[in-house]
Structure 1
Amino acid sequence: MTTHTLDICGVHVSPHHYIGGQRSTSPESFELHSPIDQRLLGHVSEGGAEHVDAAIQAAQQAFPAWAALGAEKRKGFLDRFAEEIGKRADAFCVLESNDAGVLLSRMRHGVVPRAMLNISWFAEHALRLQERQIETDQALHRIRHDPAGVVAIITPWNSPLMLATWKLGPALAAGNTVIIKPPEWAPLSSSLLADAANAAGLPPGVVNIVQGRGATTGARLVSDPRLARISFTGSVPTAKWIAQTAGANLVPCSLELGGKSPFIVLEDADLDNAAATGALMYRNAGQVCLAGTRFLVHKRVAGAFIERMRGYVERLNIGDPRDEHTEVGPIIHPRQVERVKGFVDRAVSAGAKVLWGGALHPYGAQYFQPTMLTDVAQDSEIVQNEVFGPVLTLQTFESDAEAVRLANDVDYGLGGVCYGETARATAVAEQVHTGFIWVNSFGIRDLAAPFGGCKRSGIGREGGDWSFEFFCDIKDVIVPNKPFRASFSQR
């Protein structure tokens, strides 16, 4: 077992895989750079076919005993797991700020507490799913949630710790064993998560981490027929490939994908509150799938709304995410910077007007100005496709029906926001084809509630019972109320 670690601003973390309770090295590796200043953070092990196979074997070997423990005993392990995450709170903050560019303040006050809750809440919730009963005149139906087996979890780079634990919590609480393939642009928090699992005493093979690129390591993982489930959060093109590959083996997939969510402002909205919320769409440099990125504002109040929001945007602190006062940090990778810039340049060339921003930010090479574009056509690329950067569009409407039509006229359906008089805004929100939508608010979440999207925004729901329905095999044990005698009916 290697002791080599990377030193990330005083935090030591392994750059290697975690398989069967042990660190495992690779002859191949890839470079990891910080989005803050492009400095080299180190070299990370690249998983090959042998590492994927070893992780699956370790998970298979650990599964029978972990599944047999039952929800109550698993809860003891998982509660300790959550505690060990908490003990490493400062380290998680440092790692994810440095390799993913996530705001330190967001990590400390939002992500780490949520990561702990993702583990402990689902461990508690699993106790309620031990067995449900349906009694009829003929029989007693005992409905069981049995663990499915070995689960692959593939996470994106925009919030690695939160999204890994969001899937890991219910998967483990249900009795499955897990292989995590972290994002190659931001793998370090997953590596530290393995240390927390080990310190909590989770049996070897229950949690495994195999690092690598999606096109190589990820492809080998999702194509393996020994998997019982695949849970993926990421892009639509990758999801299509995963679904096709998993389909060949009839492995069920949960796919949480991108968004192009509407932010609707009716003419009777509290414009100042709506504008302040609108500025939040630039958090994490706009790399948030559930953000409202298409502003649909009633024509009568568009001018006033724009000026209010401009005031909030001009006050945003842009800079080093490790500074507690920073509100907008860097874009994750040079390739993503070019993608964002390309969207804006093409939109402007097609006639879009820049209300603010529109270019790289002078703070650093991977920083982009918070941007708002208007005079955009409904069928344009910038309106129809996910940018995943600090770029928003603004269109106007003259009736609630038109607002709903524009909101629904994209291929995505993840989230949404609607500001206006509560009853009216609720009526509009109910007509938007999306997985969830906030009325006069943003970001309110509960682990018991469903999360997921419609159309190209994904398949399935996560949260509460919905997570367990995916990570479990639902079984009906049927016990008759009176002696049963087999007979054949005759015609």
Structure 2
Amino acid sequence: MSNPSLDVAGIQVSADHYINGQRVASSETFPLHSPIDQRLLGHVSEGLAEHVEQAIVAAQKAFPAWAALGAAGRKPYLDRFADEIGKRADELCQLESNDAGVLLSRMRNGVVPRAMLNIRWFAEHALELQNRTLETDQASHLVRHDPAGVVAIITPWNAPLMLSTWKLGPALASGNTCVLKPPEWAPLTCSLLADAAHAAGLPPGVFNVVQGSGANTGAKLVSDPRLARISFTGSVPTAKWIAQAAGANLVPCSLELGGKSPFVVLEDADIDSAAATGALMYRNAGQVCLAGTRFLVHQRIADRYVEALRAYVEKLNIGDPRDEATEVGPLIHPRQVERVAEYVDRAVAQGARLLWGGARHGFGAQYYQPTMLTDLRQSDEIVQNEVFGPVLTLQTFESDEQAVEMANGTDYGLGGVCYGEQTHAIAVAEQIRTGFIWVNSFGIRDLAAPFGGIKRSGIGREGGAWSFEFFCDVKDVVVPKKPFKASFSHR
């Protein structure tokens, strides 16, 4: 018997799992509250061992036929999947805004179009994997990208729709079948995503959704030896635990983790442009892994830069994310609010100085003021650890060498930003150890480009050919150009 559908802003969304093309209820549920005003959205089915088992078995059974279709045969299904996402654009926007506190304007203008593109782009580019040949003097090497099997996808609560489709696109286009575990704190858009897949006619078992907590549902999923791949985006502690479970079964993992990215402002930077971009670091209430949260500013321009940045920050509209004018919304969960507040309080107690913010915001219980801290040491906790809230730090430097040393002075290496005269900024950016870095810009992405971090920010790359390399078993079929004669000579 199914659990009742949830009614969120007049949108009906299933509270149950989606397994083998059908909705499957659980005898256990967990409550779901909106970060906007803490109202109860409803109760969602909790994934038990039986549901993980059902999903994996369904994916296993569906795999041979889905893989046999080839990229050209899978493309019409995935194009229809993208179309069905588009048909549900308004519902997806409203759901994720209510469920995760994401700005409605950001959902409409960026996330939903990107979700459609994630599916459609990878379906198109999977066609390019066919018939690749490397020619040598001795042989023709026919390089195949074969689907790996059953893939587990685990996504975080700060961007559930975008990151789920970012992984599903290449996984499904490659010919794998998938089990998606959405975030416990924001599962609803993934549930509606299953409806879109069903309406698109994806065969039963190709795409499955099992909801639940990481400690319960996630643990059962990632420890299963029948998985061929695990793709995870989330925190470093959870990634270590997933890697241990996967390692026991030698299951390859792609791990996109946290960031503590530098935002470097060189002496020859356009101060106003760098300040306008700097204010963007507060978007999604700072719950963005790739944001530049450590501002490193040349000491000669630091005072002017702080005032320019302050002017932009003071103009930010903080409030209900469903309001099109809002630019900073709530934090996802009461626990996240406490975590952010405790980081700031400890930093101030240890000698940091507040330039602005530093307290909860009066709009609601899960809102925190955009905050900037300075007078910090490189070893300070708030400089070294990811806060994942609207909290930034500011330090100054005297030379490029010192800026690079400070930029590289954490255990993270996801992204970065560097503002300055272009040639100068490029030269500095090239020395900063990250998976990517934006020069005089922020947030420019292309699905063909690699995305991922180094050090504690992750393992592997997503995007373009890098996604296919992960989700495929790459095989070399070697065909000699001359008749082959066996020999016992040493190779």
TM-score, L = length of structure 2: 0.99
In the alignment, which residue of structure 2 is the partner of 1:106? 106
In the alignment, which residue of structure 2 is the partner of 1:90? 90
In the aligned structure 2, how far is the partner of 1:4 from the partner of 1:175? Answer: 33
In the alignment, which residue of structure 1 is the partner of 2:269? 269
User: Deviation digits for residues 444-482 of structure 1, max 9, x if unmatched?
Assistant: 000000000010000000000000000000000011112
Equivalent positions of 1:115-194 (< 5 A) are 115-194=115-194
CA gap 1:418/1:2 in 2 versus in 1, 3 angstroms: same
Counterpart residue type for residue 407 of structure 1: A
In the aligned structure 2, how far is the partner of 1:280 from the partner of 1:141? Answer: 48
In the aligned structure 2, how far is the partner of 1:62 from the partner of 1:3? Answer: 26
In the alignment, which residue of structure 1 is the partner of 2:225? 225
Q: Aligned residues, how many?
A: 491
In the aligned structure 1, how far is the partner of 2:386 from the partner of 2:44? Answer: 29
Q: Which runs of 5+ in 1 are unaligned?
A: none
Counterpart residue type for residue 314 of structure 1: E
Q: Report the secondary structure of 1:487's partner residue.
A: coil
User: Deviation digits for residues 300-324 of structure 1, max 9, x if unmatched?
Assistant: 0000000000000000000000000
Counterpart residue type for residue 391 of structure 1: V
In the aligned structure 2, how far is the partner of 1:82 from the partner of 1:373? Answer: 43
Equivalent positions of 1:389-400 (< 5 A) are 389-400=389-400
Counterpart residue type for residue 153 of structure 1: I
User: Deviation digits for residues 329-369 of structure 1, max 9, x if unmatched?
Assistant: 00000000000001000000000000000000000000000
Checking the alignment, whether the CA contact within 8 Å between 2:3 and 2:25 is kept in structure 1 is no
The alpha-carbon deviation at position 484 of structure 1 amounts to 1.2
Checking the alignment, whether the CA contact within 8 Å between 2:197 and 2:207 is kept in structure 1 is yes
The alpha-carbon deviation at position 160 of structure 1 amounts to 0.2
Equivalent positions of 1:188-207 (< 5 A) are 188-207=188-207
In the aligned structure 2, how far is the partner of 1:290 from the partner of 1:125? Answer: 26
Correspondence 1:30 to 2:30: yes
Checking the alignment, whether the CA contact within 8 Å between 1:111 and 1:161 is kept in structure 2 is yes
Correspondence 1:242 to 2:242: yes
The alpha-carbon deviation at position 149 of structure 1 amounts to 0.2
User: Sequence identity, in percent?
Assistant: 79
In the alignment, which residue of structure 2 is the partner of 1:356? 356
In the alignment, which residue of structure 2 is the partner of 1:420? 420
Q: Report the secondary structure of 2:311's partner residue.
A: helix
In the aligned structure 2, how far is the partner of 1:38 from the partner of 1:68? Answer: 47
The alpha-carbon deviation at position 489 of structure 1 amounts to 2.7
In the alignment, which residue of structure 1 is the partner of 2:49? 49
Counterpart residue type for residue 124 of structure 1: E
* RMSD value, Cα: 1.0
The alpha-carbon deviation at position 485 of structure 1 amounts to 1.9
In the alignment, which residue of structure 2 is the partner of 1:5? 5
In the alignment, which residue of structure 2 is the partner of 1:319? 319
In the alignment, which residue of structure 1 is the partner of 2:64? 64
Checking the alignment, whether the CA contact within 8 Å between 2:104 and 2:323 is kept in structure 1 is yes
In the alignment, which residue of structure 2 is the partner of 1:336? 336
Q: Report the secondary structure of 1:304's partner residue.
A: helix
Checking the alignment, whether the CA contact within 8 Å between 2:181 and 2:218 is kept in structure 1 is yes
The alpha-carbon deviation at position 490 of structure 1 amounts to 8.5
In the aligned structure 1, how far is the partner of 2:55 from the partner of 2:468? Answer: 23
CA gap 1:218/1:3 in 2 versus in 1, 3 angstroms: closer
The alpha-carbon deviation at position 131 of structure 1 amounts to 2.5
Deviates more, 1:479-488 or 1:56-65: 479-488
Q: Which contiguous aligned blocks of 4+ residues in structure 1 show a shift greater than 4 angstroms?
A: none
Q: Which runs of 5+ in 2 are unaligned?
A: none
Counterpart residue type for residue 468 of structure 1: F
The alpha-carbon deviation at position 175 of structure 1 amounts to 0.2
Q: Report the secondary structure of 1:251's partner residue.
A: coil
In the aligned structure 2, how far is the partner of 1:368 from the partner of 1:131? Answer: 54
In the alignment, which residue of structure 2 is the partner of 1:453? 453
In the aligned structure 2, how far is the partner of 1:15 from the partner of 1:456? Answer: 35
In the aligned structure 2, how far is the partner of 1:58 from the partner of 1:22? Answer: 11
In the aligned structure 1, how far is the partner of 2:396 from the partner of 2:461? Answer: 32
User: Deviation digits for residues 190-231 of structure 1, max 9, x if unmatched?
Assistant: 000000000000000000000000000000000000000000
Checking the alignment, whether the CA contact within 8 Å between 1:131 and 1:145 is kept in structure 2 is no
